[in-house]
Amino acid sequence: MIFDFQYVAASLKVAVKYIPTTLMLSVLPLFIGIVFGTWIAICRRFRIRIIAKLADILIPVTKGIPLVLHLFIMNFLILKPLDFLSQWYGWADALRFMDKTYIGIVAISIYAVVVISETMRSALISVDDGQYEAGYSVGLTRWQTLRRVVLPQAFPFAVPVLCNNFIGLIKGSSIVYLITVVDVMNGALTSAQINYRFLEAYIAAAMIYWMMCLTVERVSIILEKHLKKYQYRVQENNLRREVL
């Protein structure tokens, strides 16, 4: 069989329609990951009783499980009970054959929370202890110090890493085709099921993922430059400072 670019184009056309699904499978987990991941990182930073201890154990352990296993386990845990219930209940049967995107979102979100909690942890650690102490010394509460002083300094540090995490989620989301969700990957493959042009289909899918990741990378660079510009300005002035 000879490589034929026509089939790539055909696959591309179909796959592009599923970009929203892939985005849903990565943006939603990103958002959930940032919210809960930051929260967990904060609890660990402040050593908040049980949560911090629990996270110390659960985060490294969960991080060791590959995403695809998260997906399979979640798929199994959600579908098998439905299988069972569907013998008696109509709604369970209906749920069973529903679009499984939500299972993907749940599995990828768990993964995202774990990964992003580590990102935020190192971002929080990057803020000097003195900043916390200065906050306390002027009478801010722990929460106020966090919100007004620490997080505004930690987030710029975290942005490039978060963008990397996001790229990881976009790429990682492609495995949902294994549980029959139709995303960019699966969309590209639909025509290949008929004409066996698999190479062309995979290349089409690769193109879309590549473009999406490049876009995120661009945004990351722009954001970083924005943050750097502020630092450069500071450093320029810094150079002059001892001459004063």
Partner 1 sequence: MGSLFDIKLVFEYFPAIISRFHITLLIVVFSITVGMLLGLLIAAIRIYKIPVLNHIAVVYVSFIRGTPIIIQLFIVYYGLPLLLDAMGIDINQWEKLYFVLAAYGFNNAAFISEIIRSAILSVPQGQREAAYSIGLSRWQALRRVILPQAFLIAFPVFGTRVVNTFESTSLAFTLGILDMIGQAQAIGNRTYHELEGYAVIAVVFIVVSLLLEKMFLHAEKRLILNRR
Partner 2 sequence: MIQLKGVRKSFGKNEVLKGVDLSVKTGEVVVVLGPSGSGKTTLLRCINFLEAADDGELTIGDTKISFKHATSKEILNVRRQTAMVFQNYNLFSNMTALENVMEGLVTARNVPVAQAKEIAQKALDKVGLTDKYDSFPLQLSGGQQQRVGIARAVALNPEVILFDEPTSALDPELVGEVLAVMRKVAQDGITMVVVTHEMSFANDIANHIVFMDEGVIVEEGSPKEIFSNPKEERTKQFLERILPRWSFSI
**Contact 107/70 with Cβ under 8 angstroms?**
yes
For residues 20 and 66, which CB has a smaller minimum distance to partner 1 in the complex? 66
Q: Which is nearer to partner 1, 149 or 192 (CB)?
A: 192
**177 DSSP assignment:** G
Binding segment (CB under 8 A) for partner 1, from list 130-138, 141-149, 167-175, 221-229:
167-175
Binding letters toward partner 1, positions 121-150, x by CB under 8 A: ------------------------------
Report how far apart, in Å, the C-alpha atoms of 186 and of each of 15, 70, 170, 175 are: 8, 19, 14, 9
Indicate which of partner 2, partner 1, none lies near residue 69 (CB less than 5 to 8 Å, by partner kind).
partner 1
3 scored as a contact of partner 1 (CB under 8 A): yes
Contacts of residue 170, Cβ cutoff 8 Å, sequence gap at least 6? 22, 26, 209, 212, 213, 216
The CB density around residue 125, as the number of other CB atoms within 10 Å, is 14
Q: How is residue 48 written in tokens?
A: 């908040």
Count of alpha carbons within 13 Å of 238, Cβ hemisphere only?
6
* 3 state SS of 216: helix
Which among partner 2, partner 1, none contacts residue 128 (Cβ within 5 to 8 A by kind)? partner 2
Residues forming contacts to partner 1 in the complex (CB under 8 A) are 1-3, 60-61, 63-69, 72-73, 76-77, 80-81, 83-84, 167, 171-172, 174-175, 178, 185, 198-199, 202-203, 205-206, 209-210, 212-214, 217
